[in-house]
Amino acid sequence: MAQELMTYFNGKLVPDSEVRIHYSDSGLSFGHTVTDSARTFDHRPFKLREHINRFFHTMRVVRIDPGMSPETMEYITLEVLEANKPLLAPDQDVWLSQTATGGRLLRSIGKWEFGAPTMIINSTPLDFTAYAHLYNTGVHAVSPSTRHIPPQSLDPKIKHRDRLFMSLAEFEVKEVDPEGFSILLDIYGNLSENKGANFFLVKDGVLRTPTTRNALAGISRATVLELGAKLGIATAEEDLQPYHVITAEEAFFCSTSYCILPATKFNGYVIGDGKPGPVVKRLQQAWSEMVGVDIVAQAQRRAATLALSHA
């Protein structure tokens, strides 16, 4: 049985510790690096094709040619998952991630020359410990002074790893509240997104989220909009300001890993009655039914198991 996670690296499946990136890689030297990540539920990939299609769109915009088709990338991703399944506990699920960089920078002054793109496909276990308890209490959403990069400079539909501005924002948020989650504003003061999640609020009974003009077209975001429509909840994609969060009935973050995580505070203001609300709970339940896994129970069970094993 494999003892170490296996990862696809530039054409080969290798032990994860053998993945090595050269310092002249354009991902490191220019932040020319893009990514996508799906996850599994009960070891079954969720919307993998949608993630891979988004990744191919991203790569096209940033001029990286992966040298393979989406079908091949999906096949390799499933191979990586299969290789790592023996290492997984029955109720443990994984990320399924693809990362590409523009390759090694061979010449940067005058003519620009790059080597072959660097390509990594990996599956790593989801770590629920940091947020499992937040399904009960809700998250403190904090808007840092660092603003989202304007779409005129970097379109947020590009899912990149050039995240220095988001990291600076996150440092600021963690100073305010070590468990806070960032909700970045754009340069006009509209809500945009978290470093790894989209944001929703419920106001006047309508499920509202920023547009994809200033936030990633998240696959969880699309899933929430689909589930909202199925549950007969009105939805809107629009410009929103901090005012709307402060006066909202409910708010939440959504992302591939945790799916839907309620936000019960915003910049110190209590949102609604300060508890995860009925719309969040209906959406979490609908999500759990769709994937055949109780998303909250799984995270809390796994976090408890890990806490026991570290005791």
String of contacts with ligand PLP for each residue 228-257, x by CB under 6 A = ---------------------------xx-
Closest contact distance (angstroms) between CB of 301 and ligand PLP is 22
Per the CB < 8 A criterion, the answer to whether 93 and 292 are in contact is no
Binding to ligand PLP by residue 40, rule CB under 6 A?
no
Q: Find the angle CA(193)-CA(169)-CA(281) to the nearest 5 degrees.
A: 40
Task: Count residues near ligand PLP (CB under 6 A).
Answer: 13
CB of 215 to ligand PLP, least distance (A): 6
Reference 225, options 217, 235, 215; nearest CA is: 235
| Distance, C-alpha 124 to centroid of its chain | 14
Selected binder of ligand PLP within 190, 220, 264, 288 (CB under 6 A): 220
Instruction: Write down the least CB distance from residue 238 to ligand PLP, Å.
Output: 17
Closest separation in Å from C-beta 285 to ligand PLP: 19
From 129, 65, 61, 120, select the one nearest 96 (Cα to Cα): 120
Distance of closest approach, residue 221 Cβ to ligand PLP, in angstroms: 6
Residue 174: Cβ-neighbour burial (10 angstroms; 0-12, 13-18, 19+) = middle
For ligand PLP, the closer of residues 161 and 275 by Cβ is 161
Question: With respect to ligand PLP, which residue has the nearer C-beta, 105 or 223?
Answer: 223
- Helix (H) or strand (E) segment spanning residue 183: none
Q: Which of 81, 96, 120, 216 binds ligand PLP (CB under 6 A)?
A: 216
- Nearer to ligand PLP by Cβ, of 123 and 256: the residue is 256
For ligand PLP, the closer of residues 195 and 275 by Cβ is 195
Question: Which letter does DSSP use for residue 150 in this model?
Answer: P
How far apart (Å, rounded) are the C-alpha atoms in residues 76 and 48? 12
- How far is 174 from 180, CA to CA, in rounded Å? 6
Supply the minimum distance, in Å, between the C-beta of residue 292 and ligand PLP: 19
Q: CA separation (Å) from 178 to 141, 236, 276?
A: 11, 31, 20
Residue 32 φ/ψ, nearest 5 degrees: -85, 75
Contact flag: residue 98 with ligand PLP (CB under 6 A)? no
CB 221 within 8 A of CB 242: no
Q: Which amino acid is at 197?
A: A
Report 148-207 residues binding ligand PLP (CB under 6 A).
Answer: 159, 193, 195-198
218 is a site residue for ligand PLP (CB under 6 A): yes
- Sites of contact with ligand PLP (CB under 6 A): 159, 193, 195-198, 216, 218-221, 255-256
